[in-house]
Amino acid sequence: MKLELGKILIHDICFAEKSEIRDGVLYVSKEELEKIVMQEEGIQSVSFDIAKPGESVRITPVKDVIEPRVKVEGPGGIFPGMVAGVETVGSGKTYALKGMAVVTAGPIVGFQEGVIDMTGPGAEYTPFSKTLNLVMVCTPVPGLEAHDYESAVRLSGFRVAAALGELARELQPDETVVYECSDLKESFEKYPGLPRVAYVQMLQSQGLLHDTYVYGVDAKKILPTLLYPTEVMDGAIVSGNCVSACDKNPTYIHENNSVVEDLFAQHGKTLNFVGQIVTNENVYLADKERSSNQTAKLCRMLGLDGVIVSQEGFGNPDTDLIMNCKKIEAEGIKTVIITDEYAGRDGKSQSLADADVAADAVVTGGNANELVILPKLDKVIGTLAYINKIAGANAETLREDGSLAVELQVITGATNETGFGRLSAR
């Protein structure tokens, strides 16, 4: 499987009468995009705004972050099973709009959404303070069920991102990166002396509004399966979950998975990157056992020497993480797990809800309970009406001076468990 990823560098975003990309500037027609969003019957209205790095802007409640891409050559289309067909993607040629993102926002249905600050201390914790953000704030039709509203916003975000990506179809990329992964027999013959390594990615899938989709299929309904890593670059995995903002994987992070990027960088040099196994996170013990059994089986079948396992979320999924680690290690395969911590505001509490001696190589994305003060900013895109309800906040979060006293848990991407951030620990 070979994918050429062409990078179209976006240096600015402006509103205009016609949507186009010219000289590195993305011109956006609100009217054109509104027509796309309003295809969804569950959305009553939508507004668009732009947030740029360094501006005194706060975006909340954040639902998803999406990088626009377009399939230029090869089978399938971007976001297969969601807005494109279900052909297998990951080969041919894809263009990505780099340096910008589509951010979806709107009223929350529970308590697990996020905040992106474009400046100040909060900006230091989110990777999306560094992107040019086109924010779409969606209002639901009155009386709409929560999960139907979330579905409408999700699909609208993908359609808008796909439409913006389409603007780059005839452009020449500023940079092209080639990703190539061989079939198993070929890769074993090509790199006989290198350790065979795979990536096991755990996807959040613990019930309603805790959804992740693989080719449009809710991950709760899958058994662990093997993908070419390039498939996720075409949007084969997308976010649909409303879990804690700090360690959820927005669609943007699936498209730009740090573990995949780093393994490709070492492929053929220090290791043989065999493939990517995706598995789910479950509620019931029998389901956890089933998925972890199948994950370990796939690792054994692939003849692996090492595995990197990344988690999404915390608490209950810690059990899935440790089960995967223990069972893969029991097959004689070395594991490294990537997680984050909920160790209390003083950092002295137990970091994970489960543990085992087999988990002796751990990378952490930081302590989500760390308390930070976010100063009042000049502009809010969205609303602060829900800020005291977001996971990691409390009734006293919004202070009289307009500042916020929050845990890192509220900041989108702050302790991301693919390493797509700046926090770690030794």
Set 242, 246, 299, 325: catalytic member? 242
Rg, C-alpha atoms of the chain? 21
Helix, strand, or coil here: 293?
Answer: helix
Predicted local distance difference test score (pLDDT) of residue 238: 97
Predicted local distance difference test score (pLDDT) of residue 207: 76
Q: Is omega for the bond preceding 195 within 30 degrees of 0, making it cis?
A: no
Quote the crossing angle between the two packed helices 146-166 and 30-37, to the nearest 10°: 140
How far apart (Å, rounded) are the C-alpha atoms in residues 376 and 402?
A: 5
H and E: helices and strands count for the chain: 8, 24
Question: Could you report the average pLDDT of every consecutive run of 10 residues in the chain (426 residues)?
Answer: 97 98 98 96 95 98 96 97 96 98 86 90 97 96 88 95 98 97 89 96 88 95 96 96 90 97 96 97 95 98 97 93 98 97 91 93 94 97 92 94 96 95 76
Q: Which helix (H) or strand (E) holds 158?
A: helix 146-166
How far apart (Å, rounded) are the C-alpha atoms in residues 237 and 280?
A: 12
CA atoms within 13 A on the CB side of 350: 7
Predicted local distance difference test score (pLDDT) of residue 259: 97
Query: Taking the CB of residue 398, how many other CB atoms lie within 10 A of it?
Result: 18
246 is catalytic: no
Q: Quick one: which of 363, 367, 354 has its CA closest to 324?
A: 354
The CA-to-CA distance between both ends of the chain, in Å, stands at 37
How far apart (Å, rounded) are the C-alpha atoms in residues 28 and 24?
A: 13
Predicted local distance difference test score (pLDDT) of residue 384: 93
The burial class, CB within 10 Å (0-12 / 13-18 / 19+), for 68 is buried
The burial class, CB within 10 Å (0-12 / 13-18 / 19+), for 400 is exposed
